Amino acid sequence: MTDLADLTATELLAGYASGAFSPVEATRAALARIERTEPAVNAFVRVDAQEALAQAAASQERWRRGEPDGLLDGVPVSVKDILLQRGGPTCRGSRTVRAEGQAWDEDAPSVARLREHGAVFLGKTTTPEFGWKGVTDSPRDGVTGNPYDPQRTAGGSSGGSAAAVALGEGPLSLGTDGGGSVRIPASFSGIFALKPTYGRVPLYPASPFGTLAHVGPMTRDALDAALLMDVITRPDVRDWSQLDTVAASFRDGIDGGVEGLRIAYSPTFGGRVTVDPQVAESVRGAVERLEELGAHVEEADPGFEDPVEAFHTLWFSGVARVVQHLTPDLLELLDPGLQEVVAQGGRYSALDYLAAVDVRMALGQRMGRFHTGYDLLVTPTLPITAFEAGAEVPKGSGHHRWTGWTPFTYPFNLTQQPAASVPCGTDRDGLPIGVQLVGARHSDALVLRAAHALYTSGAAEISPPGGS
């Protein structure tokens, strides 16, 4: 018998509609999976089983009456503990945030849309402190392990969400991505994630990382992500930088395939990135599948220099701003690595910041021109598979910061382009590998369509983690 915890949101909704099972049964299955797998991975900072079951019961009654309320009525979801969710604290992985003494009575826009569409909230997922790095561990909430091997990292900063989805602890989760933070853990944990075009998903409060920060869906497959995008892209007046609402559903045309698409494949960004041979082989296999499906693929590099210093200027300045209000005794409570980047961020001048903006604008212009010749750019999501949990960088790698091993992700936060990670295989240790699909700004539907083609062709199928 199929465990309901292993079904996608799309499959759950079909089951509710047919009467095969109910939201209460699906929620109980997700909660049972959480209880069984959580001790090993630590994906959640808070689970509210009683409230989730109450929400599921209300949904079950709506389905019984034939009156489901919204696109996700009764689907179990989780939310990264960066986004506000009313009814409980959002501590962002930091001991400097006081949970008590605050009302916690407001939802972030994407969370509000989930609530309006009847989703069942299971709880909040883990994040590194203030989402500052590409792995998930924090002084407040501890280390989040990889669903395929808890001794390895799940990636970050949306590592809790990735692990939860991979393990069947709810099929949908909301993550945030300022430099790769939904795509990195998706690649390490074997799930799908999309960083939408900036402004496509409203965000409030405004991120201290400015227009680097995106909210994105983390799901079992591209079809579920398209469903979730139909919900979370609805407008919210609290975000002054949001884009106009897309008139069509992101699911419209998702079965259109990739025939005739012009795809550039850049395996190493022109030779400047060293990629693990196992990763390279799996990614090349996904590219070959796109070609078999009718895409016109050629190896081509966008030709930009590594923008990491500009990214650091913008990112570390944002981190310094996050903690600017803290007293010296509270600053000492921060993750030691975070303390280092806060100090570095505080040394940048306004002119340094504006120089980084210049680099960013030039990169955006280059990629805009690049996409006049190519519909999609394909790269590895990451050049490696998951390494030791609790470390910011792989041991012996020579890297000092997390950006050293994520060269394929952060450039596309600078350019605001949609970018997705799709699982495309595993290494000899059974650890997932991801391929990244990057589109021109506003081409989110095209990225989802190409990703869906990989899923329907079987190229994105990998074995589930043993813990599920």
**SS3 state of residue 384:** coil
Residue 261 has pLDDT above 70, yes or no: yes
Indicate if the alpha-carbon torsion angle 399, 137, 386, 111 is positive or negative.
negative
**Domain containing residue 133: CATH number:** 3.90.1300.10
Residue 467 resides in a domain: no
pLDDT above 90 covers a percentage of the chain that reads 97
Could you tell me the pLDDT band of residue 2, with boundaries at 50, 70 and 90?
A: confident
User: Which H or E run includes 230?
Assistant: helix 222-232
Q: How far is CA 162 from CA 19, 35, 146, in A?
A: 29, 17, 9
Please enumerate in sequence order all residues whose Cβ is within 8 A of that of 120, keeping only pairs 6 or more positions apart, or say none: 23, 27, 52, 55, 56, 59, 74, 75, 76, 77
DSSP string, 85-118: -TTS---TT-TTS--TT-------HHHHHHHHTT
Q: Which amino acid is at 256?
A: G
User: For position 341, what pLDDT does the model report?
Assistant: 98
Nearest to 213 by CA among 227, 223, 200: 200
Average pLDDT over residues 307-333: 97
Please enumerate in sequence order all residues whose Cβ is within 8 A of that of 179, keeping only pairs 6 or more positions apart, or say none: 134, 212, 311, 315, 403, 406, 409, 410, 413
**Would residue 80 show up in a list of annotated catalytic residues for this protein?**
yes
Question: Which residues constitute the domain of residue 68?
Answer: 10-96+105-457
Matching residue, tokens 């405004």: 206
CA distance 309 to 360: 11
Could you tell me the pLDDT band of residue 467, with boundaries at 50, 70 and 90?
A: low
Residue 466 has pLDDT above 90, yes or no: no
Residue 468 has pLDDT above 70, yes or no: no
Annotated active-site residue in 78, 181, 189, 421: 181
Structure tokens at 102: 């605050």
**Would residue 421 show up in a list of annotated catalytic residues for this protein?**
no
Residue 462 resides in a domain: no
Q: Which amino acid is at 316?
A: F
Residue 437 resides in a domain: yes
Annotated active-site residue in 157, 161, 189, 207: 157
Average pLDDT over residues 258-282: 98
Residue 441 resides in a domain: yes
Per 3-state DSSP, the chain is made up of helix, strand and coil in percentages (nearest 5) of 40, 15, 45
DSSP for residue 388: B
Strand ranges (E), 385-431: 419-426
Cα 137 vs. chain centroid, distance in angstroms? 16
DSSP for residue 61: H
Give residue 277's region: left, alpha or beta (phi > 0; psi -120 to 50): alpha
**Buried-exposed string 32-52: b where 16+ CB fall within 10 A, e elsewhere:** bbbeebbebbbbbbbbbbeeb
pLDDT tens readout for residues 331-354:
999 999 999 999 999 999 999 999
Residue 316 resides in a domain: yes
pLDDT tens readout for residues 348-393:
999 999 999 999 999 999 999 999 999 999 999 999 999 999 999 9
pLDDT tens readout for residues 201-241:
999 999 999 999 999 999 999 999 999 999 999 999 999 99
What is the chain's Cα-based Rg? Answer: 21
Dihedral Cα 211, 213, 215, 220, nearest 10 deg:
130
CA distance 45 to 312: 28
pLDDT tens readout for residues 132-188:
999 999 999 999 999 999 999 999 999 999 999 999 999 999 999 999 999 999 999
Indicate if the alpha-carbon torsion angle 422, 428, 430, 431 is positive or negative.
negative
Annotated active-site residue in 22, 59, 78, 80: 80
How many other CB atoms are found less than 10 A from the CB of residue 67?
9
User: For position 213, what pLDDT does the model report?
Assistant: 96
When divided into structural domains, the chain yields a total of: 1
Residue 2 resides in a domain: no
Query: What does residue 264 show for φ and ψ, rounded to 5 degrees?
Result: -95, 130
**Would residue 157 show up in a list of annotated catalytic residues for this protein?**
yes
User: For position 247, what pLDDT does the model report?
Assistant: 87
Provide the mean pLDDT of the chain.
97
